[in-house]
Amino acid sequence: MAATYIPEPYKCVTASEIEDAMAAAILDRIEQRGLTAAEISRRYPSIRSGHIAKLQRGDMLGFRMLSALTEAVGLRVNIEVTP
């Protein structure tokens, strides 16, 4: 069964939805706790303020960077595959 639309030509809908959900959760956590880029980078030194700025602008980051950010702000991702 095919999706009714493809938002990005080289990325499946499921991947886009996962990344969107992760980005929203990261931004919510940053806002709730008032975290700064410096505080986040203490946990993951590869994370820079530019990554957070990209999310705030609505730009997307890759799954691996989103995963690192998720862990750095104290969230956990659970992915379930169902038939």
Give 16-63 pLDDT, tens digit per residue: 899 999 999 999 999 999 999 889 988 888 898 899 999 999 998 999
- Residue 43 confidence (pLDDT): 87
**Cα distance between residue 55 and residue 67, in whole Å:** 13
CA distances from 31 to 1, 3, 16, 56, 58 (A): 38, 33, 23, 11, 15
Q: What is the pTM of this model?
A: 0.82
Q: Does residue 3 surpass a pLDDT of 60?
A: no
- Residue 80 confidence (pLDDT): 87
